[in-house]
């Protein structure tokens, strides 16, 4: 049972706002949910299950885990957690992780691994008869992706809250789009959500980690930095860009 703390209420408000504002869920939807075992997708799962008891909209949730295949995986524990919530976890065991770290391909293992994972996630979403795939990205992920795309891809873009793919076959939704990562960290800890440590050798050394550290240090001097970056996404002055 969720404890309705201040942090719970903040995330709940942010998620409710995102779901309405970006038109994410309709009555009768079958929603596949990418469950990685990390705090974001576990928090998303908790809120989407709990929301069913509160709102007059019905939907079904189908958690999906792509096991990257490192030693020390936690698929059984994740399946047990889903069972406790009355859900069945679809788990696919792969060797995406070790494959992506093989010497010949090690220049960008995260890119390779996430591309393979995304592909299987979309396929499994369709196989489960779902047209919606919910992912656990939060507001900080959106801001970091904006900077990663500018710094390393030379383009101004980020993740969308509601994104139709493959001609409408699957819609990706990100219900935590407006929720702050620091709130999610606190929520996961205060509610005692399970903690699975990520056995991936690249987990701590990604571009995202570098950007997180940069934003952290800029925010110490000015706490509005992240909020301003997020706001800039809806304050685009095209007449001052080279479009």
Ligand X SMILES: Nc1ncnc2c1ncn2[C@@H]1O[C@H](COP(=O)(O)OP(=O)(O)OP(=O)(O)O)[C@@H](O)[C@H]1O
Among 10, 17, 22, 38, the residue binding ligand X under the rule CB under 6 A is 38
Binding piece for ligand X, criterion CB under 6 A, among 9-17, 130-138, 159-167, 224-232: 130-138
Contacts 24+ apart (CB under 8 A), 73-81: 73/199, 74/37, 74/196, 77/37, 77/194, 77/196, 78/35, 78/37, 78/196, 81/42, 81/194
- Nearer to ligand X among residue 41 and residue 171 (C-beta): 41
C-alpha–C-alpha distance, residues 4 and 24, integer Å: 24
Binding piece for ligand X, criterion CB under 6 A, among 32-40, 82-90, 215-223, 228-236: 32-40
Task: Characterize the bridge pairing of strands 162-165 and 170-173.
Answer: antiparallel
In this chain, which residue has its C-beta nearest to ligand X? 38
The answer to whether 98 contacts ligand X (rule: CB under 6 A) is no
Residue closest to 7 by CA, chosen among 185, 141, 130, 166: 185
Q: Output the smallest distance, CB 92 to ligand X, in A.
A: 8
The answer to whether 200 contacts ligand X (rule: CB under 6 A) is no
The answer to whether 34 contacts ligand X (rule: CB under 6 A) is yes
The answer to whether 135 contacts ligand X (rule: CB under 6 A) is yes
The answer to whether 137 contacts ligand X (rule: CB under 6 A) is yes
Q: CB of 10 within 8 A of CB of 40?
A: no
The answer to whether 66 contacts ligand X (rule: CB under 6 A) is yes
The answer to whether 141 contacts ligand X (rule: CB under 6 A) is yes
Residue closest to 84 by CA, chosen among 193, 196, 7, 4: 193
C-alpha–C-alpha distance, residues 89 and 135, integer Å: 15
Among 8, 12, 18, 39, the residue binding ligand X under the rule CB under 6 A is 39
The answer to whether 144 contacts ligand X (rule: CB under 6 A) is no
* Triad 80, 196, 179: Cα angle to 5°: 100
The answer to whether 40 contacts ligand X (rule: CB under 6 A) is yes
- Nearer to ligand X among residue 207 and residue 236 (C-beta): 207
The answer to whether 47 contacts ligand X (rule: CB under 6 A) is no
Q: CB of 212 within 8 A of CB of 226?
A: no
Q: Output the smallest distance, CB 16 to ligand X, in A.
A: 19
Which residues are within 8 A (CB) of 90 and not within 5 positions of it... i.e. 6 or more apart?
Answer: 62, 63, 64, 65, 124, 128
Residues that bind ligand X (CB under 6 A): 34-36, 38-41, 64-66, 68, 117, 121, 135-137, 141
């Amino acid at each position: 049972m969720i404890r309705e703390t201040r942090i719970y209420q903040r995330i709940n408000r942010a998620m409710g706002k995102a779901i309405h504002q970006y038109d994410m869920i309709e009555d009768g939807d079958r929603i596949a949910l990418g469950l990685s075992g990390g705090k974001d997708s576990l928090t998303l799962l908790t809120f989407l299950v709990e929301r069913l008891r509160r709102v007059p909209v019905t939907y079904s949730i189908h958690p999906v885990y792509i096991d990257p295949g490192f030693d020390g995986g936690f698929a059984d524990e994740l399946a047990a957690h889903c069972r406790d919530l009355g859900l069945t976890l679809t788990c696919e065991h792969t060797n995406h992780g070790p494959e992506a770290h093989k010497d010949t391909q090690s220049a960008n293992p995260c890119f390779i691994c996430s591309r393979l994972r995304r592909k299987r996630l979309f396929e499994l979403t369709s196989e489960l008869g779902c047209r919606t795939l919910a992912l656990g990205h939060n507001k900080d992920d959106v801001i970091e992706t904006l900077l990663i795309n500018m710094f390393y891809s030379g383009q101004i873009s980020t993740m969308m809250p509601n994104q139709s793919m493959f001609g409408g076959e699957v819609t990706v939704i990100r219900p935590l789009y407006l929720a702050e990562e620091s709130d999610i960290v606190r929520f996961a800890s205060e509610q005692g959500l399970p903690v699975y440590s990520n056995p991936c050798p690249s987990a701590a050394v990604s571009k995202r980690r570098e950007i997180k550290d940069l934003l952290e240090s800029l925010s110490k001097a000015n706490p509005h930095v992240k909020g301003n970056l997020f706001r800039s996404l809806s304050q685009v002055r095209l007449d001052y860009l080279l479009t």
